[in-house]
Structure 1
């Protein structure tokens, strides 16, 4: 009987032990006091903050969270002060990740790839010595795990260039100083490892770089201590950017633009995508105004193709934040946009889309300083009006400084320029609202019988941009569209033909795109 009881008790204890082991295993990956979480800030952020919380159980600190500590290059760390399940990384200035689930102790979140992975502390090789210590380089994105060539621009004039790569103290590509690199021309040296490594040091055998994070396929300059893209394509990308590139909120007009040169005298076409959705298809247009409507992180991809079959691409990451609780005012958009024409002796209206100002009375105040080509200015004052009208009387460039101030006296300003000319109809939008999408002015009435005015039959091919209906797209259409937007009386047009960007609204963007179409024909 005793033996039977002991067996039953032993069985119960074994079951309890197994259950506790499972629980312990499942709890091991949850957040706990003393855990360390990392973030790789390879998107240009600085002053990283870590905000952590568990629903219904509190957070680690008031927003924006606890300041993170820089541990190497673009890697920041934070040691948990409690048990939390969720995390947001941010720069304390409006840029932030989405709500993330904490991935466990020793995990690192990459702000460019938006993925978690295990973080390994950089181990300095004991063999390495240096007579110089150059400043830290700005790091490129981390390796995808495939062994690819790595390059060094030998502008420091080393007689020999070595590449030492490693993952740990026992896993490296060779004993110090590493493998000799091969000069491939234009003072560029190359080395292809037989596997992927996370860390690298370039050296001459005596002088050396700092410990660097590998950006496979990228080029390190040993004089400027900076990384750049090593690009051998016949399409050389000279610039790609977003304006603004930070402090972006929903509703902000962001200009995405790029330029490139052909080394083989070919014509280059451009395509722009946002989160893999094409917003500007492959064409000669190399810019696009994008207005995000939702909070989150967006990957902007610029793609290039030429008439000889060459291709290239670049990408960048933008963070869009919510301004609904923002205290400081922000200017999201001003219409008409920069470098638009306004007509002499005709009223021009500047309209501002602003956000923030969520403090005190929650009111935003606007001031407009207009300077004509002779330097004369208006008498500015603050108003609650988000639009301002003036009449240009002098031919040339007008400067409009827009100020937005919150009830706590915090303010922001931006400057815009416009060209006044007597022969150019205004592209300024009316003070009321943009042309509605639901009731565009019809070309003709819609009776069942044949109208008296001449219209194209339904079988006629659709010609985008032929606003004056003469069967061709030229500068007359660009002028005609600007007059439509300015609501000149008696203008007849087909809404679909004039809606160049296809967003259901006739505005200055359509006029600008049509001008580009005409110029590039």
Structure 2
């Protein structure tokens, strides 16, 4: 080969080497890009929330509901959604001037956690949006660490750390908080439930950890054990249990090392269960009287003189009766004795920390109880205005008949110390039915002229222009039905069990009704409770129908069947896996 051929060969070899080097660099860049989430929260982008009530969404208009705020300390974008009640649909988009365009180009569609507000993504009323369920009208914090990580929704003020520590945590001494936030509730012993004379904490190991450890502490020198804590006991059904002997402020669940662990969490108290997949706490309750909800319409804290509605719902055997009481120090006041009334108005006049007690009892004598703390502050010198009571504040009203609203408000202690009121009425079509203006009158009279829901919005403004706004719903009807007094109950004794049929049908002759574990002909939270009692080995008058209870179709009855029934009841699924 001549000199020229050798030079050509070297040039080709050099070119190939350069090409290979460029390819390797490009690959390295692409791998690095794959390692880094290019949509991670940095605060550099602006995101908007477009929301509508999903009963009649249209996603029209040119102004978004609000703008997400970036929290650098938590590394996420968030928006505190207030004023929504019931179903709510929304879209997260970078588009700020057109709802129609925003709903077509959402920035975040993935759900990181369904949570207690049952976040779901899909087509609702013809729009591809995110849906949530907010029956209590909570202020909800919607957040996301990145577009690809997805959305999370929790009650504002209760959000946990977004990233678990990667090393053994340094316990910190808890400090008292002032006002605001949700105080963890303490479950009370339940009839027919699990052992209640010991302090147990539970973990539902849905994430599939090999082992579960509990690390609990108050300070560096006050903890249940050195890191990683104490291994919990697997009691079956994917449930792990740990008995603690004293009160602790903080807890971390882990696999026995810091490779996989939860974040640094506040400990809610005995009787709670934590799901290490959904990252949610709930009360571990096996009572046949299942508490669905217990709430207040206004979050703690509030000022003295403010009307606060306590409400509760439960499902039991026969009629369920409710009792509401409040305790301040050594003094307990019964707001409503045992009756079928599932809500009551409480108007505290004295500042302090109260314990709200919700008692439940059904026709068979099963009982249950829930408690929560509530803070009432002194509003005698508050500058910002606040609404104390509105009477009436909801319900049916007679069409074409005058309705008089009475408002009591507080605050406004600045400048002239005067408060001004504005009343806005919107008819069922959404049109403003009056001429709103500020007045000193604390009463307002309006006459509905159309059947259906009317919205009354009340603005109270102080002399410094600080304003509070609240809305109330009234249903205009042709004729108001007289209110039936609630049925009261003193001491219900369990009714005698019905006689055993002389000839029972064989099991083979009975069709399978998935979910109906107690064989009462319907699927309810009671079926989940019956399965829990069966798993725990608790004796029952009528045993659990295991064929009906095996809703996931795996041939056995476990806690997964309980969770599947719960998801079915709240609408996350519309058919059991065993029916597929």
- Give the alignment's TM-score, normalised by structure 1: 0.52
Partner of residue 317, structure 1: 373
Kindly state the Cα deviation for residue 422 of structure 1 after the two structures are TM-superposed: 3.1
Q: Give the Cα separation in 2 of the matches to 1:307 and 1:142.
A: 22
Contact 1:140/1:228 (<8 A) preserved: no
Q: For 1:43-442, what aligned pairs fall within 5 Å after superposition?
A: 75-76=174-175, 90-91=178-179, 148-164=199-215, 177-193=228-244, 195-196=245-246, 198=248, 200-206=251-257, 207-210=260-263, 215-262=269-316, 265-275=317-327, 276-339=332-395, 341-377=396-432, 378-424=434-480
Kindly state the Cα deviation for residue 388 of structure 1 after the two structures are TM-superposed: 1.3
Instruction: Call closer, same or farther: CA 1:319–1:261 in 2, change over 3 Å.
Output: same
Q: Give the Cα separation in 1 of the matches to 2:375 and 2:199.
A: 30
Deviation string for 1:172-201 (max 9, x for gaps)?
7667655443333442111335x4363654
Q: Give the Cα separation in 1 of the matches to 2:230 and 2:379.
A: 52
Deviation string for 1:404-435 (max 9, x for gaps)?
111101111111121223323xxxxxxxxxxx
Q: Give the Cα separation in 2 of the matches to 1:74 and 1:161.
A: 24
Kindly state the Cα deviation for residue 241 of structure 1 after the two structures are TM-superposed: 0.9
Q: Give the Cα separation in 2 of the matches to 1:162 and 1:422.
A: 62
Instruction: Call closer, same or farther: CA 1:140–1:316 in 2, change over 3 Å.
Output: closer
Instruction: Call closer, same or farther: CA 1:321–1:191 in 2, change over 3 Å.
Output: closer
1:90 is paired with a residue of what secondary structure? coil
Contact 2:392/2:405 (<8 A) preserved: yes
Structure 1 unmatched ranges of 5 or more: 1-42, 48-70, 78-88, 96-110, 113-138, 425-474, 479-510
Contact 1:201/1:211 (<8 A) preserved: yes
Instruction: Call closer, same or farther: CA 1:364–1:174 in 2, change over 3 Å.
Output: closer
Instruction: Call closer, same or farther: CA 1:374–1:154 in 2, change over 3 Å.
Output: same
Contact 2:309/2:343 (<8 A) preserved: yes
Indicate the larger mover: 350-359 or 159-168. Answer: 159-168
Kindly state the Cα deviation for residue 395 of structure 1 after the two structures are TM-superposed: 2.1
Kindly state the Cα deviation for residue 251 of structure 1 after the two structures are TM-superposed: 1.9
Instruction: Call closer, same or farther: CA 1:308–1:140 in 2, change over 3 Å.
Output: closer
Instruction: Call closer, same or farther: CA 1:73–1:287 in 2, change over 3 Å.
Output: farther
Q: Give the Cα separation in 2 of the matches to 1:164 and 1:419.
A: 52
Instruction: Call closer, same or farther: CA 1:191–1:376 in 2, change over 3 Å.
Output: closer
Structure 2 unmatched ranges of 5 or more: 1-154, 160-169, 189-196, 489-580
Instruction: Call closer, same or farther: CA 1:74–1:248 in 2, change over 3 Å.
Output: farther
Deviation string for 1:36-83 (max 9, x for gaps)?
xxxxxxx99799xxxxxxxxxxxxxxxxxxxxxxx9689227xxxxxx
Instruction: Call closer, same or farther: CA 1:238–1:73 in 2, change over 3 Å.
Output: farther
Q: In the comparison of the two structures, how many residue pairs are matched?
A: 307
Instruction: Call closer, same or farther: CA 1:235–1:185 in 2, change over 3 Å.
Output: farther
Contact 2:385/2:419 (<8 A) preserved: yes
1:414 is paired with a residue of what secondary structure? strand
Instruction: Call closer, same or farther: CA 1:223–1:390 in 2, change over 3 Å.
Output: same
- Give the alignment's TM-score, normalised by structure 2: 0.47
Q: Give the Cα separation in 2 of the matches to 1:236 and 1:162.
A: 29
Contact 2:205/2:239 (<8 A) preserved: yes
Kindly state the Cα deviation for residue 351 of structure 1 after the two structures are TM-superposed: 1.5
Structural RMSD (CA):
3.5
